[in-house]
Amino acid sequence: MKAFDVIVVGGGHAGTEAALASARAGASTLLLTQNIETIGQMSCNPAIGGIGKSHLVKEIDALGGAMGIAADRAGIHWRILNSRKGPAVQATRAQADRALYKAAIRKIVETQVGLSIFQQSVVDLRFKGQKVDSVITDSGLRIKTKGLVLTVGTFLGGVIHVGLNKQTGGRMGDGPSNLLAQKLRDIEFGVDRLKTGTPPRIDGKTVNFGLLEEQPGESQRPTMSFLGKPEDHPRQVLCHIAHTNEKTHDIIRKGLDRSPLFTGQIEGVGPRYCPSIEDKIERFSDKNQHQIFIEPEGLGTQELYPNGISTSLPYDVQLDLVRSIKGFEDAHITRPGYAIEYDFFEPRNLYPSLQTKKIVGLFFAGQINGTTGYEEAAAQGLIAGLNAARLSQEKEPWVPKRSEAYVGVMIDDLVTMGTKEPYRMFTSRAEYRLILRQDNADRRLTPKGRELGIIDEKRWTKFCEKRDRIDEISKKIKKIFISAEDKKVNAMLNKPLGREYSVFEVMKRPEIKGMALLEAAGLKMISSSVAEQIEIDCKYQGYISRQEKEVEKNKSHFDQPIPSDFCFDSIPGLSNEAKQKLALIKPKNLGQAGRIPGMTPAAVSLLMVYLKKGDSIQNVQAD
Amino acid sequence: MAYIKDTIAAIATPPGKGGVGIVRISGPVAVRIGKEISKRETEPRVATLVSFYDDRGRTIDQGLLICFQGPHSFTGEDLIELQGHGGPVVMDLLLKRAIQLGARQAGPGEFSQRAFLNDKIDLVQAEAIADLINSSSEQAALGSMRSLQGDFSNQINSTLKKLVQLRVLVEAAADFPEDGIEAEINKDEKEKLKYLLNQLDQLLEGAKEGHAFSQGVSLVLTGKPNAGKSSLMNALCKRDVSIVTEIPGTTRDVVREDAIIEGVTFRILDTAGTRQAKNKIEAEGVKRALKEVERADIVLNLVDVSENIELEMMEELEKNKRAKEIVVYNKVDLLHKKSIPSSFQCVSVKTGGGLQKLKKRLIKELGVLSGGDSIFSARRRHITAIEQARIHILEAIGFIGIENQIDLLAEELRLAQLALDSITGTFTSDDLLGEIFNNFCIGK
């Protein structure tokens, strides 16, 4: 088989974005998957987005990725979360029809120029020295490549638990990738185990929805993609909310002796923010009920996903616990819930480009790096795929900074601090939360994406239109004044104006809605997305410029690069602990060095002095 | 190469009542600060007699202002020196004013570091700079630890704890809106913030008034009755202020006197010896003594070595002492053959032996030798941090109950904590998430 610039192993959320980004960047790309039918499969809950997560989706979208577009084509129930708490923490979530989502991703992957799909299991990797050379598949094919992106999800050494029964597998119904796992274990990337779980699925026709609380979607539906329109959405459905009760909790407590989680059978660490129902009941024993979100699996199926009761208890306990819930008295379980343990590799062994430090050309993305969530995986996939392509083209890698994107926050967290539990994005992880909003992902990243060559003409044209319109209106509103007697505007305000103010000034008042004020000021024909940006720019101006100043101030300091061959041992004043950590993480710049847990400001100062010393010696030699 | 874009300031001369003290300011806004603090333009490289003014236009001091334009300065950046009358109060007011005008308090060894980074110091000196950074950050850490003793530390920690509780609530409401967390941040939280503000105010008052800035370093003498505390006090003050007898428990209340050692004012407090009190008056004295120990900058714990004390016990004492405590072994003249390790502080108040060494040790403990990184600068740093936290809490109060701005409320609380973190150590977003997961049952 012919050689490729980049090979991506795995067709999940990380793999598809990786393959697409690589192809968009102009590299000849091959996507290898065990099963083409599972490309774009949502293995866990049927939803895209959520707090911190829609931020990631919109960033992926702003860089030309597929996730947002697919979500728009598959979203059957839309919610705006935190709609009244401020734009920085506002988020979008869509319940997605699994089949529609998969089909949308498949279509985007299949139509991408420069991207080939091939159904093969990878059983071995070949290196030349410390460099990627080729992959060997189960049919004995050897395919050469310059960049290799592994996005193997939970398939490495995957073990599935239902009660005390366990079996190997990467997802219920699919086998694990054990040969590959062994190969990677041999390279000593620092392997560890994590755990995640799913709830039992329920047959919708056996549920009494009349007893459940209805949760309708938004009437004014948002979209996930910059290019999306509400008209892209399929038919909308309702979600429901149910609750566990004391009886449920008793059933669970009685079954704990057969819970692999509590008998010590499961060694992997699970996420604290997504505990199994047995965990919740043990840890918060004072709560007499827990919420369950009843999510439809899709338009073409009756199956339901009861989000909130992920469990690895035995089937008989699962059935009893489900049937103890109001409305589920006669429920039938279509697929039992299970816990899955899998290998992940110490992400501190990666550069921010997601290339491994040990093997040139080998990139990791997704759950293999200790993260959880479709959005987290997809975002890493995009960065890994892009950088694999850039490596094959002998270009410098690109990774957004913490001040530029949530993707940057996530990657920096992973490669600098590692993780002990499956890593999920939260807005509180971002110190520049006020400038990293979901509403401005396009403004933050699309120009950069264009520069990197991964933004097509259609998106770029539409982006430029919006950008120019924002610039134009921003200038205008400083020159248009509202008189003190303006009835329309005063009616919007808690306190009347009192004197003449510019539209810009009035916009800063918290009670003002952007679009309404612009219309009152005679500025017509403005799209809601432009009005939104104008409003937020005005209201947040002080904060945004404060954070921007902070970014600017730190730039010269923290962006100071550290050569990859820099010898930290040569710094006499550093503690051994600091030296070890620096040698392991090989920080790219002073800022990253400073964020390594346990690094003191004095240690960073020392590092700065010795970086300078290294520079000067080189200069002397160059002279 | 310009590495850093901010302006740093520090007191460049040792603290204490010296004749002249210097505040040094380096960075892009240094010259502007000089102009604003003296309310006049001065010629570069010319020492000009000026008045230094505070934020309300009152004169802080009169002195010399010298302005060096980069790269022709010690650090290679724009740099000014304010030379005033030495003494902690004036120096601190000048430093405080410089910080108000946009400077940041310099970190350990930072002036030299900048000089090096801007090619003003030879490459060969890199090791020396490294040593300086190391030793002065140790000093700074010590100074900080001392400043954080007792009430001050307890108060800071309790304030921080309350702030974290609020942040947990606000951040959980923002990151987990579907987990049944009370989303409304309302009156209760406003009251809590006001209470926090009040606590910060108290901290500021305590830090400003009760401490060394105006009155010097507080030095408390403790130890068992008749260990020789009163004699030592008299020796340090060079006159009889405490009544000395051979009867244990003679000093029943706290006796105070100032002593100037190497130009630094020490407020020495002689306390009643800590023993099971024999009567009510003595009991009250012991109680007060303990309180003074809490507040002190330095504690001298006097041990009478003429009473049968084993080496093991001494080692135990050294091991268990507080950060600000020096164990002083008195009456060594009465010892015959017993040897005490030379690292232990020994005196004979009676003969005067070891007193000079003790005085030197006191000065060293203050970090006076390293110039700007003493207990004084630690405390200035702490006060600046509390003042900043206060501003953010005040802003946060304004956001309570305003729809659509929980993100701004969260930001102000984050910044408030960031300020206080500089005193107590870093609290990461992961720590915050940990608190949230401990307090709320999160997760679908």
Query: Model confidence over B292-319: pLDDT tens digits?
Result: 777 777 888 888 888 777 778 888 888 8
**How much is the pLDDT for B208?**
61
**Stretch among A12-21, A179-188, A483-492 having the lowest mean pLDDT:** A179-188
In a domain, B398, yes or no: yes
The yes-or-no verdict on residue B142 having pLDDT over 70 is: no
In a domain, B126, yes or no: no
**Stretch among A347-351, A450-454, B173-177 having the lowest mean pLDDT:** B173-177
Tokens coding B270: 């002689």
Which of B6, B114, B164, B175 is most worth mutating to test chain A (most A CB atoms within 10 A of its CB)? B175
Nearest to A86 among B116, B179, B407 (CB): B407
**B126-132: which pairs have CB atoms within 8 A and are 24 or more residues apart?**
B126/A609, B126/A610, B126/A612, B126/A613, B127/A572, B129/A609, B130/A571, B130/A572, B130/A573, B130/A606, B130/A609, B130/A610, B131/A573, B132/B108
In a domain, B178, yes or no: yes
**How much is the pLDDT for A476?**
95
The runs of H, that is alpha helices, within B227-336 are 229-237, 280-295, 311-320
Of chain A, the percentage scoring pLDDT greater than 70 comes to: 98
Q: How confident is the model at residue B82 (pLDDT cuts 50, 70, 90)?
A: very high
Do residue B256 and residue B199 come from a single domain?
A: no
- Inter-residue contact B288 to B272 (CB < 8 Å): yes
Tell me which of A233 and B158 has the higher pLDDT.
A233
Whether residue B403 and residue A84 make contact (CB cut-off 8 A), yes or no, is yes
Do residue B222 and residue B359 come from a single domain?
A: yes
Of chain B, the percentage scoring pLDDT greater than 90 comes to: 21
**How much is the pLDDT for A620?**
47
Considering only residues 183 to 212 of chain B, which have any Cβ-Cβ distance to chain A shorter than 8 Å?
183
Do residue B181 and residue B100 come from a single domain?
A: no
* Strand residues in A97-141 grouped as ranges (E): 115-119, 122-128, 131-137
Contacts of A273 in chain B (CB under 8 A): 176, 433, 437, 442-443
Q: How confident is the model at residue B181 (pLDDT cuts 50, 70, 90)?
A: low
**How much is the pLDDT for B370?**
41
Contacts of B120 in chain A (CB under 8 A): none
Query: Of B366, B387, B420, which closes a domain?
Result: B366
pLDDT single digits (tens) A367-421: 999 999 999 999 999 999 999 999 999 999 999 999 999 999 999 999 999 998 9
B353 in reach of chain A (CB within 8 A): no
The yes-or-no verdict on residue A85 having pLDDT over 50 is: yes
- Tell me how far apart the alpha carbons of residues B431 and A198 are, in angstroms, rounded to a whole number: 27
The partner residues of A33 in beta bridges, in order of sequence, read: A119
Which of B166, B404, B414 is most worth mutating to test chain A (most A CB atoms within 10 A of its CB)? B404
Kindly report the number of other CB atoms within 10 A of residue A505's CB atom.
15
**How much is the pLDDT for B148?**
63
**How much is the pLDDT for A622?**
44
In a domain, B389, yes or no: yes
**How much is the pLDDT for B195?**
93
Closest CA in chain B for residue A611: B117
B273: CATH = 3.40.50.300
- Tell me how far apart the alpha carbons of residues B152 and B164 are, in angstroms, rounded to a whole number: 18
Q: Show Cβ contacts of residue A447 under 8 Å, excluding neighbours closer than 6 positions.
A: A463
Closest CA in chain A for residue B125: A613
Tell me which DSSP letter residue A589 carries: B
- Inter-residue contact A50 to A79 (CB < 8 Å): no
B355 in reach of chain A (CB within 8 A): no
The yes-or-no verdict on residue A92 having pLDDT over 90 is: yes
The partner residues of A95 in beta bridges, in order of sequence, read: A47, A77
**How much is the pLDDT for B18?**
64
**How much is the pLDDT for A388?**
98
Do residue B70 and residue B165 come from a single domain?
A: no
In a domain, B425, yes or no: yes
Q: How confident is the model at residue B373 (pLDDT cuts 50, 70, 90)?
A: very low
Tell me which of A171 and B336 has the higher pLDDT.
A171
Do residue B220 and residue B325 come from a single domain?
A: yes
For tokens 């997760």, name the residue. Answer: B443
Domain count of chain B?
3
Contacts of A278 in chain B (CB under 8 A): none
Contacts of B133 in chain A (CB under 8 A): 573, 602, 605-606, 609
- Tell me how far apart the alpha carbons of residues B228 and B240 are, in angstroms, rounded to a whole number: 13
The yes-or-no verdict on residue A20 having pLDDT over 90 is: yes
The yes-or-no verdict on residue A342 having pLDDT over 50 is: yes
The yes-or-no verdict on residue B335 having pLDDT over 90 is: no
- DSSP class per residue in B269-300: EE----S--SSHHHHHHHHHHHHHHHH-SEEE
pLDDT single digits (tens) A200-243: 999 999 999 999 999 999 999 999 999 999 999 999 999 999 99
Nearest to A291 among B177, B180, B407 (CB): B180
Do residue B340 and residue B196 come from a single domain?
A: no
Q: How confident is the model at residue B365 (pLDDT cuts 50, 70, 90)?
A: confident
The yes-or-no verdict on residue B212 having pLDDT over 50 is: no
**How much is the pLDDT for A80?**
96
Closest CA in chain A for residue B400: A85
- Tell me how far apart the alpha carbons of residues B287 and B271 are, in angstroms, rounded to a whole number: 10
The yes-or-no verdict on residue B182 having pLDDT over 70 is: no
Do residue B234 and residue B362 come from a single domain?
A: yes
- Tell me how far apart the alpha carbons of residues B86 and A351 are, in angstroms, rounded to a whole number: 52
Opening angle at CA A237, ends A235 and A243, nearest 5: 165
| Distance between A99 CA and the closest CA of chain B, angstroms | 23
Cis peptide bond N-terminal to B71, omega within 30: yes
The yes-or-no verdict on residue A469 having pLDDT over 70 is: yes
Helix axes B30-38, B88-100, angle to 10 degrees: 120
Burial class (CB in 10 A: 0-12, 13-18, 19+), A411: buried
**How much is the pLDDT for B368?**
46
Contacts of B411 in chain A (CB under 8 A): 88, 433-434, 543
Do residue B208 and residue B219 come from a single domain?
A: no
Q: Is the dihedral of CA A458, A38, A44, A214 positive or negative?
A: positive
Segment B402-412 mean pLDDT: 89
Do residue B78 and residue B162 come from a single domain?
A: no
Q: Show Cβ contacts of residue A572 under 8 Å, excluding neighbours closer than 6 positions.
A: B127, B130
The yes-or-no verdict on residue B252 having pLDDT over 60 is: no
Phi and psi at residue A175, in whole multiples of 5°? Answer: -70, 160
In a domain, B130, yes or no: no
In a domain, B128, yes or no: no
Q: Show Cβ contacts of residue B355 under 8 Å, excluding neighbours closer than 6 positions.
A: B235, B236, B347, B349
The partner residues of A364 in beta bridges, in order of sequence, read: A150
Terminal-residue alpha carbon distance, chain A: 50
Whether residue B174 and residue A51 make contact (CB cut-off 8 A), yes or no, is yes
Of chain A, the percentage scoring pLDDT greater than 90 comes to: 74
Segment B25-34 mean pLDDT: 94
**Stretch among A83-97, A424-438, B207-221 having the lowest mean pLDDT:** B207-221
Whether residue A273 and residue B133 make contact (CB cut-off 8 A), yes or no, is no
Phi and psi at residue A443, in whole multiples of 5°? Answer: -65, -30
Kindly report the number of other CB atoms within 10 A of residue B187's CB atom.
10
Q: Please give the single-letter amino acid code of residue A378.
A: A
**Stretch among A308-312, A386-390, B25-29, B122-126 having the lowest mean pLDDT:** B122-126
Question: Could you tell me the pTM of the whole model?
Answer: 0.83
| Distance between B175 CA and the closest CA of chain A, angstroms | 6
* Strand residues in A468-560 grouped as ranges (E): 481-482, 501-502
The yes-or-no verdict on residue A515 having pLDDT over 90 is: yes
**How much is the pLDDT for A129?**
92
B124 in reach of chain A (CB within 8 A): no
B161: CATH = 1.20.120.430
Of chain B, the percentage scoring pLDDT greater than 70 comes to: 78
The yes-or-no verdict on residue B336 having pLDDT over 80 is: no
- DSSP class per residue in A448-513: HHHHHT-S-HHHHHHHHHHHHHHHHHHHHHHH-EE-TT-HHHHHH-SS---S-EEHHHHHTSTT--
**How much is the pLDDT for B277?**
59
Q: Please give the single-letter amino acid code of residue B295.
A: R
Q: Is the dihedral of CA B309, B312, B315, B317 positive or negative?
A: negative
- Inter-residue contact B125 to B113 (CB < 8 Å): no
Q: Print the domain residue range for B199.
A: 138-212+376-437
Segment B17-34 mean pLDDT: 88
B37: CATH = 3.30.1360.120
Nearest to B130 among A273, A307, A573 (CB): A573
In a domain, B113, yes or no: yes
Tokens coding A390: 């850039």
Q: How many CB pairs below 8 A link A and B?
A: 155
Q: Are strands B20-26 and B8-11 parallel, antiparallel or unpaired?
A: antiparallel
The yes-or-no verdict on residue A33 having pLDDT over 50 is: yes
Query: Of B366, B399, B414, which closes a domain?
Result: B366
B129 in reach of chain A (CB within 8 A): yes
Within chain B, what is the greatest distance between any pair of CA atoms?
78
Q: Please give the single-letter amino acid code of residue A201.
A: R
**How much is the pLDDT for B369?**
41
Do residue B301 and residue B430 come from a single domain?
A: no
Tell me which of B214 and B408 has the higher pLDDT.
B408
**How much is the pLDDT for A480?**
94
**Stretch among A123-137, A549-563, A605-619, B149-163 having the lowest mean pLDDT:** A605-619
Do residue B203 and residue B219 come from a single domain?
A: no
Contacts of B182 in chain A (CB under 8 A): none
The yes-or-no verdict on residue B273 having pLDDT over 90 is: no
Closest CA in chain A for residue B116: A609
Segment A483-502 mean pLDDT: 91
Do residue B202 and residue B292 come from a single domain?
A: no
Average pLDDT of chain B is: 79
Segment B8-12 mean pLDDT: 89
Segment B391-408 mean pLDDT: 89
**Stretch among A53-57, A75-79, A499-503, A581-585 having the lowest mean pLDDT:** A581-585
pLDDT single digits (tens) B43-65: 999 999 999 999 888 888 899 99
Query: Of B342, B366, B390, which closes a domain?
Result: B366
Average pLDDT of chain A is: 92
B116 in reach of chain A (CB within 8 A): yes
**How much is the pLDDT for A601?**
77
The yes-or-no verdict on residue B102 having pLDDT over 60 is: yes
**How much is the pLDDT for A318?**
97
Tell me which DSSP letter residue A561 carries: B
Distance, C-alpha A448 to centroid of its chain: 19
The yes-or-no verdict on residue A595 having pLDDT over 60 is: yes
Nearest to A307 among B171, B432, B444 (CB): B444
| Distance between B297 CA and the closest CA of chain A, angstroms | 25
Segment A506-526 mean pLDDT: 91
Nearest to A613 among B126, B176, B402 (CB): B126
Q: How confident is the model at residue B262 (pLDDT cuts 50, 70, 90)?
A: low
**How much is the pLDDT for A42?**
93
